[in-house]
Chains A and B, each alone.
Chain A
Amino acid sequence: MYRDQIVEALRGHEADYIEVRLEESEACIIQYRGRELEDLSRSTSLGGNVRVLAKGGWGFVSFNDLRNLGDKVGLAVKQARLVGKDVSRFAPVAQIVDSVEEVVAKDASSLALAEKKSLLDEYNEVIWSVPKIETSIIAYRDKWRRITFANSEGSYIEQKNADLSLRMVAVARDGGDVQQAGLSEGSRGDFTQIEGLHQKVRETAQRAVELLAAPQVKGGEYWVVLDPVLAGVFVHEAFGHLSEADFTYENERLREIMVLGRRFGGEHLNIVDGAAVPDLRGSYKYDDEGVPASKTYLIREGVLVGRLHSRETAAKMGEPTTGNARAVNYRYPPIVRMTNTFIEPQRASFEEMIGGIKEGIYVKNWYGGTTSMEMFTFSAGEAHMIRQGKLAELVRPVVLTGNIFTTLKNIDAIGSDLEMNQGGGCGKGGQYPLPVSNGSPHIRIQHCLVGGK
């Protein structure tokens, strides 16, 4: 659709590599605070960017005004030349001309506003029907976008896709004590995947009320069992980010630490990331550099075997491209990101995992997680004590923390019940929320540090 315009804009400009990305999108936001609609809006956006590599230096120009595209290419070329004083290293990929349009069961972006709002009204009523609930927060967003990508190597790719996210929070209150419980879901724009959640919503609201009477855990080291949702957040924070090669490729010391072949966990531990795993929020056919998606083993049988790359990091580390360069939107250049990240299933049963624990914590669901490479945190939305091998009382949500060099080795049991969670969004370098999914079976970690009273 924009092909001639882009070809014309690239004409006469010289650099080692030039790419143009144009992006049209439409989004719908529905937000409640309590029974009141806080936000209801429909937005459209049209914008783009030009990225140029010259002698190892990058120029980047983003804009909403698509006129004079050639001048924008010219500016980015000038910027890249001002920076570049070296040699460009950029992994070769095949020229691709393709057009990808996804079809989902029930496309949220083409649904009437009335239908979307009526489902959220139902969920809000479910929350409010639970006694002692003070208030609710519901945040729904759907967005479709059509991205046109073209580069100076002759690739031209159009991809149309959609994303949907829903977070519902129930708030209970007793005087100055405010407790909350949340539920997050998401999909590739398919509305059916957020239908029929009434029972889950009710349980979430009931948990918020129960938390008012729940005690707080004493801080310290515990054996913990993670449900698939929190274990997914754990693998994303604990190892996923460290596998993103843009942290490693120009850091000699980190390259020594993250050398392929190094052991990080037991032989039962396999960690995978891949946008080629279909139908998840982090799935796609081509990344934002036009590189075909793949499925990459990061850890196989406990040993580091791969990492996630952009074309630049792959070239500089002499490793194959993986198709992990992503931009949250046209205002940002693509950087190395995760897609769908998970721990592969093994055979341990849940009963076996909790059976061996005298005093520990069963942690479920998530509030969030963050990492600084060596140390990371991941926080549970729900927690129960484990006493004498059995599930015991509900306790208040906890923040757990780990260290990359010990915590993965402390995973001593991995279950068989892999589930992927679609409810999160990932942030890095100011680019948030990027659609990702992550997952795991139940896992057990020995000696995990837990914050508390």
Chain B
Amino acid sequence: MEEILSLARKSAQEAEVFLTSFEETPVVFEANRLKQLQTRQGILVALRIVREGRIGFSTTTSLDDRVSLVDRAIEVSQFGTPARFELPYQLTYPQVEIYDPGVETLSIEQMIDLGESLIAKVRGHTPALLCDARITKGLVSVHILNSRGGEVSYRRSFFGIGLEGNLIQDTDMLFVGDSDSSCHPIGDIDKVASSVINQLELARRQASVSSGRLPVVFTPRGVASAFIAPLALAFNGRVVWQGASPLGDKLGERVFDERLSLWDDATATYRPRSRPCDDEGVPSQSTPLIEHGVVKGFLYDLQTAGLAGVQSTGNGDRVGEGLPTPSISSLIFKAGAVSFEDMVGDLREGLVVEQLMGAGQTNVLGGEFSGNVLLGYKVEKGGIVGRVKDTVVSGNIYQVLNKLVGIGQEAAWVEGAIFTPALCCSNLTIASKG
């Protein structure tokens, strides 16, 4: 890394070398049986330079590829955008707990046992269920070095379990599933198993709904499938800076329900997206986005913060082989006061949405969502009566989250990166074959 840095410094005023390597071991089950063991090892080296005030950037998969890496970054810098930042140095980093040696010592045999017992437990409830499952462990290390003398490195362990079940009766197909992840090994399969079994129970009967307007309870997984894509864009500092976020000029204004609070936190203990610093070496922090319904802040990397005249929030992530760009780390919603039972119990007629398929494939920039209820239930007189199908739920987050019926008191992690309670929304548009 030092050699790349000094080679780059011969032609550029500033330079930064980012090195990440990973090894992950997925244990894959298909159709209820162990199918495949994988070991995936990889490395990425990224060089960012500032030459005559302009950014140059290149990546490779080998530390031996130094000359070509530097040459390509220099070529790119001729056309590069003017740099608006100073590389970070002499910083103190928060202590973020993200490494558990227990992940490395956990054996493949133990992971196989875990997957087998997860499938057995769920099939103990519904023997005809066909399960695909995946138990994954991994280790990531990151090392950043820059020409200002800034240097930081860390390593993170990762463990995840996930199950998807499929039940077909005649021409009716039911898909259920859940997952759990942590930087610790997960020894307990009960959380995922009981969530899937609960879905199977609730979907046992079918129900119908007619087109019109109804209140809808989004479970934590439902929240993630419907609202996160438009929220992540709206709070992205880059989108704000270019004038495309509906929230861009709403800082300090109340836009959402006053019980709603949301923040981004890259320091949450043992979460798979936590770290002491972002991919530019800026210290991690917790950034308030919504406080009691008021827009409090946006997420920035160094370059965007420079353009916007603010400080980076430590959200500069490298996605694939690209330059750092503002990204969410862990999004955390404040839990509310209503139990899930009461939330459903208070509905005369409504829906519970567990997963909205295709919800983000519309004008998410404008806050819209519209998707097919892949897994969801009809509520009548305060009770879940059965599963609904062939039903589309649509809305706009700026209307829907402006006035909520209620916020759940139990929050859960979804997809490893979102911690959210259930949200009950009034008056959503339902289109259904009935």
Q: Do A and B come from one complex?
A: yes
Report the separation of the CA atoms of residues A453 and B210 in the bound assembly, to the nearest whole angstrom.
14
Alpha-carbon distance A176/B402, docked complex (angstroms): 14
Known: A33-B238, A37-B80, A113-B75. A251 touches B57 (CB 8 A): no
Asked if A153 lies at the interface with its beta carbon under 8 angstroms from chain B, I say: no
Name B31's closest neighbour in chain A (CB-CB).
Answer: A250
Partner of B242, one of A34, A43, A114: A34
In the complex, which residues of chain B have a beta carbon less than 8 angstroms from the beta carbon of A194?
none
Q: A117-B79, A251-B168 are in contact. Are A178 and B30 (CB under 8 A)?
A: no
Taking a contact as CB atoms under 8 Å apart, the answer to whether A36 and B393 are in contact is no
CA distance A34 to B168 in the complex (A): 48
Within 8 A of A (CB), among B389-422: 389-390, 392-394, 398
**Least Cβ–Cβ distance between B361 and chain A, in angstroms:** 3
A29 to B244, CA, bound (A): 22
15 A-B pairs (CB sep. < 8 Å): A36-B81, A41-B57, A41-B322, A42-B58, A60-B37, A79-B37, A257-B168, A372-B374, A377-B357, A399-B358, A399-B372, A399-B394, A450-B431, A451-B370, A451-B393
Using a CB-CB cutoff of 8 Å, which residues 104-122 of chain B contact chain A? 108
Residues on B with beta carbons closer than 8 Å to the beta carbon of A449? 390, 392, 431-433
**Which of B142-150, B170-178, B216-224, B334-342 faces chain A?**
B170-178
User: Complex: how many Å from CA A367 to CA B361?
Assistant: 5
Which of A62-70, A289-297, A348-356 lies on the face that meets chain B? A62-70
Q: In the bound complex, what is the Cα–Cα distance between A31 and B323 (angstroms)?
A: 10
Top 4 nearest A-B pairs (CB, nearest first) are: A219-B431, A368-B361, A377-B358, A250-B31
Known: A29-B322, A41-B59, A42-B72. A180 touches B366 (CB 8 A): yes
- In contact, B59 and A44 (Cβ under 8 angstroms): yes
A405 within 8 A of B: yes
Closest to A453 in B: B429
- Candidates B130, B169, B372; contact of A377 at CB < 8 Å: B372
Q: Which residue of chain A lies nearest to B80 when distances are taken between CB atoms in the complex?
A: A40
Bound complex: CA of A129 vs CA of B235, how far in Å?
27
Cβ–Cβ contact A38 & B323, under 8 A: yes
How far apart sit A397 and B72, CA to CA, in the bound complex (Å)? 41
Residue of chain B at shortest CB distance from A82: B37
Closest to B33 in A: A250
Interface pair B363/A82, CB less than 8 Å apart = no
Say whether A333 contacts B58, CB under 8 Å: no
Using known A-B contacts A39-B322, A83-B35, determine if residue A370 contacts B358 with beta carbons closer than 8 Å.
Answer: yes
- Whether the pair B431, A254 counts as a contact (CB closer than 8 A) is no
Name the B residues within 8 Å of A83 (CB-CB): 34-37
How many residues of chain A are within 8 Å of chain B by beta carbon? 79
B311 interface contact, C-beta 8 A: no
A374 interface residue, CB < 8 Å from B? Answer: yes
Q: Are B168 and A253 touching (Cβ within 8 A)? A: yes
Q: Which residue of chain B has the shortest Cβ distance to A31 in the bound complex?
A: B322
A266: interface (CB < 8 Å): no
Assuming the contacts A58-B37, A377-B357, A449-B431, asked whether A401 and B168 have C-beta atoms less than 8 A apart, the reply is: no
Could you list which residues of chain A lie within 8 angstroms of chain B, going by C-beta atoms? 27, 29, 31, 33-34, 36-47, 57-65, 75-76, 79-80, 82-83, 113-114, 117, 134-135, 137, 171, 173, 176-180, 219-221, 250-251, 253-254, 257, 331, 333, 367-370, 372-379, 396-399, 401, 403, 405, 449-453
Give the contact stretch, choosing among B61-69, B186-194, B343-351.
B61-69
User: Could you tell me if B36 and A179 are in contact, using CB atoms closer than 8 angstroms?
Assistant: no
Contact B242 A373 (CB under 8 A): no
Please tell me if the beta carbons of A369 and B323 are within 8 angstroms of each other in the complex: no
Residues of A contacting B239 in the complex (Cβ-Cβ under 8 angstroms):
33
A34 to B245: give the CA distance in the assembly, Å: 13
Min distance, Cβ A151 to any Cβ of chain B, angstroms? 17
In the complex the two chains form, is B366's CB within 8 Å of A178's CB? yes
> Known: A61-B38, A399-B371. Contact between A43 and B398, CB under 8 A?
no
Assess the B58–A41 pair: CB atoms within 8 A: yes
Shortest beta-carbon distance from B11 to chain A in Å:
16
- Cβ–Cβ contact B42 & A47, under 8 A: yes
Q: How far is the CA of A42 from the CA of B172 in the complex (A)?
A: 48
CB distance from A420 to the nearest CB of B (A): 21
Using A44-B68, A83-B37, A379-B358 as known contacts, say yes or no to A451 and B57 having CB atoms under 8 A apart: no
With A61-B39, A62-B39, A134-B244 already in contact, 10 other A-B pairs whose C-beta atoms are closer than 8 Å: A33-B242, A38-B81, A46-B62, A59-B37, A62-B42, A113-B76, A113-B78, A221-B433, A250-B31, A375-B390
Pair B79/A219 contact, Cβ less than 8 Å: no
Task: Check B10 for interface membership: any CB of A closer than 8 A.
Answer: no
A181: nearest chain-B partner, CB-CB: B363
Question: Are A372 and B246 neighbours in the complex by a CB distance under 8 Å?
Answer: no
A44 touches B36 (CB 8 A): no
In the assembled complex, how far is the CB of residue B392 from the closest CB belonging to chain A, in whole angstroms?
Answer: 4
Query: Given A39-B322, A41-B59, A451-B394, do A219 and B43 touch, yes or no (CB 8 Å)?
Result: no
Would you give the shortest CB distance from A17 to chain B, in whole angstroms? 13
Q: Which residue of B lies closest to A58 (CB)?
A: B36
User: A65–B43 contact, CB under 8 A?
Assistant: yes
- State whether A372 and B357 are in contact (beta carbons under 8 Å apart), knowing that A41-B321, A60-B36, A61-B38 are contacts in the complex: yes
Cβ contacts under 8 Å, B307 to chain A: 36
Residue of B38, B65, B367, B429 ringed by the most chain A CB atoms within 10 A: B38
Q: Which residues of B contact A113 (CB under 8 A)?
A: 75-76, 78-79
Residues of A contacting B39 in the complex (Cβ-Cβ under 8 angstroms)? 60-62, 75-76, 79
Known: A61-B38, A79-B39, A178-B365. A45 touches B60 (CB 8 A): yes
Which of chain B's residues have a CB closer than 8 A to the CB of A173? 243-244
Inter-chain contact B61/A46, CB cutoff 8 Å: yes
B32: min CB distance to chain A, Å: 9
Q: Residues 206-246 of chain B: 1 if any A CB is under 8 Å from the residue's CB, otherwise 0?
A: 00000100000000000000000000000000110011111
B242 contacts A333, C-beta separation under 8 Å: no
Is there an interface contact between A171 and B365, defined as CB atoms closer than 8 Å?
yes
Q: Which residues of B contact A31 (CB under 8 A)?
A: 322
With beta carbons under 8 angstroms apart, the residue of A62, A221, A254, A376 that contacts B168 is A254
* C-alpha spacing A277/B283, complex, angstroms: 52
